[in-house]
Chains A and B, each alone.
Chain A
Amino acid sequence: MASFIQLLVSGLATGAIYALIAVGFTLLWQTSQTINFAQGEFVMLPAFFVLAAMNAGAPFWLAALIGIALSIVILGILFKVIIVDPMLKYGVLPLVISTIALSLFLKESAKDFYSSQAQPFPALVPPTDIHIFDAVVSTQSLLVLAIAILTVIALHILLNKTRIGRQMQATAQNPTLARILGIPVQRMVLYTFLLNAVLVAIASILVSPIYLAKFTNGETLGMAAFIAAIIGGFNEVRGAILGGVILGVLDNLSAAYISSQYRGAFPLIILIAVILFRPQGLLGRIEERTV
């Protein structure tokens, strides 16, 4: 039972990180039909920005801010302006290919210009354990969980309670109508890219102390984000959060209780089951097919 609680907490922590990545992924899809195959690499990269800033002498908190800022500029603005905008007129497929090439580009760049070795990444808190009943829970897991939950709450308030957030939602749901209502659609699309950049940067800072900063991190993280988004529902932010949490918990529990060799396989089996029996995802709406 004690180990179950430990696994549950660390699963929730991983799941919360997955959720942040998946939310960004679905936001991009909703507002600009961008399926970002480089999303995993987007999470891998900010950790290297932070490390580079620290090598230049910045303290961790400043380096983290620099990492988030660089991420906004490079993974938000430049990604949209250089890669997405010129491609949109060709439809979804070429853009998918382009983001696949981008993921290769970012991965190899991190390897060649930084290091091919896994880099230790500073933890947000000193690694101590807290005893809750019988279970030993690391403070790191709890902090990750807390930050992720705060981020999700902030995101929820931004999207549902503010004017900009509601304009973004309107843009996602019906761009034509949004434009008629006087919403600056292009600016809203840009905001979602910025939001995605912030989310992946936060996820990167949270996940790197656990996994170490390594150029291959994006492969598993990107896959987790796709699967979380599909499980929850591709067109629902809440769905992506639910999908991420389910995935994180199941991943940890199945690795401990069923088979660690096939750890990577369980999320894939869930994915196939969801596609078979509930293709719109747990919380998703069925999209009308348009001519």
Chain B
Amino acid sequence: MTRVGIIAVVVAAVAAIAAPFFLKPFGIFLISTWVVLTIAAIGLNLTLGYAGQISLAQGAFVGIGAYTVALLTPLGVPFFAAFFAAGLLCFAIGWVLGYPALRVQHHYLAFVTLAFTTLVFLVLRNEEWLTNGIYGITGTQRPILFGWKTNGARDFYFLCLGVLGLLSLATWWMLRSPWGRAFVALRENPIRALSLGLDTRLYTLMAFAIGSSLGGLSGALYAPLVQFIEPNSFALGLSFNLLLMVIVGGSGNFFGPFVGALVAVLLPEWLRVTQSYYLIIYAAAIMVMMAFCPSGLLGLAERASRALDGRRAVTKTSVPTEGAGP
């Protein structure tokens, strides 16, 4: 990472910690949503940005995670046990789902995950004995961590932020390990990776399953955050939204999901004036961005800073030539 990058990350972290002290409850709710969605988007970024596969099931995994926690905690299961159960369950489902789809090249995972999201929605809506159907589940308790009650909006925000911090560190470490570098090799040139002896299918499957489990963990925080979950929240719309978050931020860029989720959470609030035209503007902006800068906002920022650096480099080299002149 460059020095500017490190400074930017530190500033962002300080801002994230300081923000809830300056915000009204609704503002705290918004940034908590940002934290929770970022976790899901980090997971999707593994699948999309690093393994190069489109998944339209991330919203469904968020739903599975949310329902796991909402159903287990009233039975007396401690929150953190339910939290990890959500992650494990989504990992397992992701594995089973990705296995057939990744046998075939091209974009079959996109279609299979699209189908899967619809299936999950149907199950959540129809199996009323389990999920209470369209009436949803209310009142998921927020956890108590070593005596720290996270009932308050600010406390729960810090809990989510802590989880996000830990999960990003874990992902960062994984991507730096030889294992994670294989993901990148996979995206850059799958056939070369294959000929170097990497089991590309296994790694793609791993990236997808780990990405899915992050979706589940995100959902496990979502249920106690909103305290009302119903099937429609996890329909195809959420999966599309998460996909666009990763793209807008910059897919394959570690910090892309953070930026993309922030845009997706804040933009609708800022564009309130445009009322219902908001989604039209958002969709049009994404199409324009894909045409001119498919590497997302961070790609744009990188390009800008490289252009600046380039100019600086030119002026630096031009100084001695002037001095060496007549």
Contact = CB atoms under 8 A, between A and B. Distances in A.
A98 B240 contact: no
Given A265-B122, A275-B104, A275-B108, A101 B115 contact: no
B118 interface: yes
Interface stretch (A42-50, A130-138, A172-180, A219-227): A219-227
- Greatest chain B CB density within 10 A among A96, A108, A223, A261 is at A108
18 contacts: A87-B291, A93-B52, A96-B54, A97-B286, A98-B287, A100-B244, A105-B283, A108-B276, A112-B280, A264-B118, A264-B122, A268-B116, A272-B100, A272-B115, A275-B108, A279-B103, A279-B104, A279-B108
Contacts of B116: 268
A257 interface: no
Contacts of B290: 87, 90, 94-95, 97-98, 101
Contacts of A265: 118-119, 122
Contacts of B110: 35, 96
Interface in A221-275: 223, 226-227, 230, 234, 261-262, 264-265, 267-268, 271-272, 275
A99 B54 CA distance: 13
A87 B292 CA distance: 9
Interface string B98-123: 00110111111011101110110010
A1 interface: no
B88 interface: no
A104 B105 CA distance: 26
Nearest to A101: B286
A268 B280 contact: no
Contacts of B305: none
B192 to A, nearest CB: 9
A83 interface: yes
B127 to A, nearest CB: 9
Contacts of B118: 223, 264-265, 268
B9 interface: no
A219 B56 CA distance: 14
In order of increasing CB-CB distance, the 4 nearest A-B pairs are: A105-B283, A268-B115, A101-B286, A279-B104
Contacts of A272: 100, 112, 115
A109 interface: yes
A275 B101 contact: yes
B311 to A, nearest CB: 26
Contact of A112 (B236, B243, B277): B277
A275 B106 CA distance: 12
Nearest to B107: A35
Interface string B117-149: 011001000100000000000000000000000
A94 B100 contact: no
A202 to B, nearest CB: 24
B279 interface: yes
A48 to B, nearest CB: 15
A56 interface: no
Contacts of B112: 271-272, 275
Contacts, number: 106
B284 interface: yes
A154 interface: no
B247 interface: yes
B268 interface: no
Interface in A268-287: 268, 271-272, 275-276, 279, 287
Contacts of A226: 111, 114
A33 to B, nearest CB: 10
Interface of A: 35, 83, 86-87, 90, 92-98, 100-102, 104-105, 108-109, 111-112, 219, 223, 226-227, 230, 234, 261-262, 264-265, 267-268, 271-272, 275-276, 279, 287, 289, 291
A92 B126 CA distance: 36
Interface centre among A98, A109, A219, A271 (most CB of B within 10 A): A98
Contacts of A234: 106
B180 interface: no
Nearest to B56: A100
A91 to B, nearest CB: 9
B122 A262 contact: yes
B92 interface: no
Given A97-B243, A262-B122, A279-B108, A102 B280 contact: no
Contact of A108 (B52, B126, B243, B280): B280
A262 B115 CA distance: 13
B104 to A, nearest CB: 4
Contact of B283 (A92, A108, A261, A289): A108
Contact of B280 (A93, A96, A109, A264): A109
Contacts of B243: 97, 100
A105 B103 CA distance: 33
Contacts of B244: 97, 100-101
A73 B116 CA distance: 35
B108 A100 contact: no
Given A223-B114, A275-B112, 14 more contacts: A90-B290, A97-B290, A98-B287, A101-B284, A105-B280, A105-B283, A105-B284, A108-B277, A227-B111, A234-B106, A265-B119, A268-B115, A272-B100, A279-B103
Given A98-B291, A112-B280, A219-B236, A289 B105 contact: yes
A226 B112 CA distance: 10
Given A219-B236, A223-B118, A93 B54 contact: yes
B263 to A, nearest CB: 14
